[in-house]
Amino acid sequence: MKVLAIDDQQLVLLPLEKRLKELGYDVKIETSADKSLVLYDEFQPDLVIVDFNMPKITGFDVVKHIRTSKKSETPIMILSGNTQDAIITEAFELGVTDYMKKPLSLNEICARVKRLIGVLRTEAANSSENIMIQQRCVGVVIPCYNEEERLLSDEFLKYIDQHTGYHLCFVNDGSKDRTLEVLHDLQKGREDFITVYDCEKNGGKAEAVRLGMLHMAQKEDLDYIGFLDADLSTDLRDFDDLVKTIENSDFKIVSGSRISRMGADITKESARKIISLTINFIIRKILKMDFKDTQCGAKIFHKDVIDIAFSKKFVTQWIFDVEIFKRMSIHFGLKKAKAMLCEQPLKRWIHADGSKLSMKDSVKIVMQLAQIAWVYRSKKSQANNSEVLEIA
């Protein structure tokens, strides 16, 4: 029995392809709706699974090709995040056999497939892994410098195996140990879900994150892109909560916050905590925003603001987060930028041993903040002058 699955996001198709093949089906996947029409004619599938929301040619166009042009009764299942009653009704009127709403589990999808075209391998019919097919696809940049001993490879692998829609990009920032080798080992067999971006020279965390974000922005199937510290001081589950917030809102950036609160496991060294409070006070004055924690290493961005935030090199190495927010306020205006930003408290954050930020570095941050205030004040003046000239 042959199954053709069509979706413009490969991260959705790959786990579906794997599970259906385990069940014994002959499966072909396609991310281009144009090519899928040709593939349908060549492959002659017994079942078509197609996403509704695709660029240029929609899932409905595929349905019309099968039902109207080919006059075929091939079962068609729509897999979509669109839950509008009018769309679902139209789909059934066009002749679809089933309509599945994302997010949903692979187990449910396979159960529906088996109901329509039968079961091939009964021993693989029920999987204990309840993997979810998500509505969105997310890229995560993880900067790495001399992380050979600290990188929690098993944690990252376990997460992407259980959570579809994630693509991890590890950026090797000119490490002097075996970090690059460790990252390539981590990538083996999961090249569709893990990218290793190698910087031959150490450029600092700011540049590593910037290059990784711009690299991931080139992937068309990603909806959101964020970054996370390699030591996982921010839990991956917490990061997924940030993704859910940006997915279900109009925010362009959702930033984690290590605010101590009831029910949260937030630990910092006492000296670091005092310095952080002082630095955060200065940052709030510079940004003119009531941020509690700009420096948390967990942030998620809507793809359409990546260029604004990361196209140009940062002035500073450690507090580039402040520059990101400053760039947003200069580009959109302070009031509009505030409405685009969300600060979300984390449930867990633990200062990891071996952190590259020393107490001496913390003192340097104050000088870097003064540098940011000066540089971006000049940029704001230039932006205002440009607006005046445009009006004139």
The per-residue pLDDT for 113 is 96
Asked if the model's pLDDT at residue 39 lies above 70, the reply is: yes
Q: What is the pLDDT of residues 228-239, one digit of tens each?
A: 999 888 888 899
Residues in the chain: 392
Q: 247, 224 in Cβ contact below 8 A?
A: yes
pLDDT of residue 132: 83
Q: Band the pLDDT of 380: cuts 50, 70, 90.
A: low
Q: What percent of the chain has pLDDT over 70?
A: 86
Distance, CA of 61 to CA of 361 (rounded, Å): 57
What pLDDT band is residue 240 in, cutting at 50, 70 and 90?
very high
| pLDDT score at 258 | 81
**pLDDT of 360 above 90:** no
Q: How confident is the model at residue 389 (pLDDT cuts 50, 70, 90)?
A: very low
Instruction: Residue 279: name the closest of 362, 375, 338 by CA.
Output: 362
Average pLDDT, the chain: 87
Q: What is the per-residue pLDDT for 390?
A: 46
Burial (CB count within 10 angstroms: exposed 0-12, middle 13-18, buried 19+), residue 86: exposed
Q: How confident is the model at residue 364 (pLDDT cuts 50, 70, 90)?
A: confident
Q: How many CA atoms lie within 13 A of 130 on its CB side?
A: 3
Q: Say if residues 11 and 101 touch (Cβ distance below 8 Å).
A: no
Beta partners for residue 33, in sequence order: none
Long-range contacts for 243-248 (Cβ within 8 Å, ≥24 apart)?
243/136, 243/138, 243/300, 245/342, 245/344, 246/300, 246/301, 246/302, 246/342, 247/135, 247/136, 247/223
- pLDDT (0 to 100) of residue 229: 92
In this prediction, residue 357 carries a pLDDT of 52
pLDDT score of 265: 57
Confidence class of residue 391 from pLDDT cuts 50, 70 and 90? very low
Secondary structure (3-state) at 162: helix
Question: How many Cα atoms within 13 Å fall on the side-chain side of residue 167?
Answer: 28
Q: What percent of the chain shows pLDDT beyond 90?
A: 62
Nearest to 33 by CA among 73, 70, 65: 65
**pLDDT score, position 227:** 97
Does residue 31 have a pLDDT over 90? yes
Mean pLDDT of 308-337: 93
What's this model's pTM, rounded to 2 decimal places? 0.86
Q: What DSSP string describes 347-361?
A: SEEEPPTT-S--HHH
Determine which helix (DSSP H) or strand (DSSP E) holds 175, and give its type and residue range: none
Q: pLDDT tens for residues 285-315?
A: 888 887 888 888 899 999 999 999 999 999 9
Interval 260-281 mean pLDDT: 62
Q: Which residues pair with 3 in a beta bridge?
A: 27, 47
Report residue 47: phi and psi, to 5°. -155, 140
How many angstroms separate the CA atoms of 143 and 226, rounded? 11
pLDDT in tens, 61-98: 999 999 999 999 999 999 998 889 999 999 999 999 99
Question: How many Å from the N-terminal Cα to the C-terminal Cα in the chain?
Answer: 68
Average pLDDT over residues 142-154: 93
Task: Give the model's pLDDT for residue 235.
Answer: 83
Nearest to 193 by CA among 6, 26, 35, 18: 18
Token digits of residue 81: 């995040």
Task: Please tell me which of 47-61, 124-138, 260-274, 286-300 the model is most confident about, judged by mean pLDDT.
Answer: 47-61
pLDDT-based confidence at residue 348 (cuts at 50, 70, 90)? confident
Phi-psi region of 204 (alpha: psi -120 to 50; beta: other; left: phi over 0): left
Q: Determine the pLDDT at residue 351.
A: 59
C-beta separation of 140 from 168 below 8 A: yes
- The crossing angle, in degrees rounded to 10, of helices 270-287 and 320-332 is 20
| Residue 15, pLDDT above cutoff 60 | yes
Q: Are 142 and 172 a contacting pair, CB within 8 Å?
A: no
Q: What is the pLDDT of residue 267?
A: 57
